[in-house]
Structure 1
């Protein structure tokens, strides 16, 4: 017998994607999307959350001066929270529940559309304890000096600022030890893509061309 139209969709499986700052996670998300996988970007959802009037009001109250003319001054907020773990936790308490709700809603939409796997692109996957909800985890990595240079060239941050942000994340070795598969992003794009193909084959992920 065929599946009844009213039957709920099969549970979608979750592939966590993470990596230290400057590792090249964004490049991997592009490759995953090109293979037809649905990628949910936690940073993008966080940006949308911080455009909501209710969230902006809470941020202005908690971090005075970071909201100007109805828009979040991200640089000013970063300067406050990235030097103080307690303030960073305060920011997370405001934004993380809403980000999680958005990610869950998008995952449900993907499942309804027939996706078998959904990628959760989360920079602080391990630090936030979200790895426990994943069926498999991809870690993108590169040596520290390479990562620092990448971030400096794209963001204008100083070496000291990049190192300070890196220090607030789990060490690369700790992430690699907890990964299902590791992608070493030290070569060219073709090398990275070959590694990704091997990892997806190992995990048994065969994306449908209908996924996006």
Structure 2
């Protein structure tokens, strides 16, 4: 079985992914893949430089993530361009890794951890989609604390994604992560039991 795992920024998706991994699930991490497809010498990085310019590179030839982040969070059109460059590369690699795990371990759960799953139109890749939910006010507080952002910067990043309320409506499986870790763990245990996973 495979599922897509998503949620809003700072909703606690990584915590849920770790809980699933602890139970034996294989995790395909879209954020990790997103870093790999822009490594020096990659097609992804070359295309970013072609569109955004050489000031997107650090002196060592790697991607200047902060500079790119400033550009795309300030201009939704530029974000769309970046998504158009990266999403096909990321989706192809997610699919390849999921197929690999499914072929080698057909009895195990394969989880693709994808922050922008709905925004990328990837639902059809998965049997079900699990959404990790936290209310927007808590998202903002967590993001400010975690990334050292101002409230305005945190809200700008949150609103650049589909709202967590909309993601929750679309979910096949909804995990509430606005309480204790034990409460979140109980929901994962219930999911595991309902699916008859070993």
Q: Normalized against structure 2, the TM-score is what? A: 0.92
- Give the structure 2 partner of residue 180 of structure 1: 172
Matched, 1:132 2:117: no
Q: Number of residues paired by the alignment?
A: 194
As a proportion of its length, which structure holds more helix? Answer: 2
- Offset at residue 119 of structure 1 (A): 0.7
Aligned residue in 1 for 2:156: 164
CA deviations over 1:9-37 (Å, ceiling 9, x no partner): xxxx3201111111000101110110100
Give secondary structure in 2 for the equivalent of 1:55.
helix
Aligned-residue offset at 1:205: 4.7
CA distance in 2: counterparts of 1:103 and 1:145, whole angstroms: 31
CA deviation string 1:106-148 (max 9, x = no partner): 1122022113431111111111111132211111111222111
Please state if 1:101 is matched with 2:88: no
For the structure 1 residues 158 and 115, does the alpha-carbon distance in structure 2 shift closer, same or farther, using more than 3 Å as the test?
farther
Report what 1:57 is aligned to.
46
- Cα deviations by residue, 1:48-81 (Å, 9 ceiling, x for unpaired): 1111413222212211211122111101101001
Q: Which runs of 4+ in 1 moved over 3 A?
A: none
Residue from 32, 38, 41 that aligns with 1:44? 32
Question: Could you say which structure has the larger radius of gyration?
Answer: 1
CA RMSD of aligned residues (A): 1.5
Contact 1:38 1:115 (C-alpha < 8 Å) held by counterparts = no
Gapped regions of structure 2 (runs ≥ 5)? none
- Separation of aligned partners in 2, 1:186 and 1:68: 38
Distance 2:64 2:15 in 1: 26
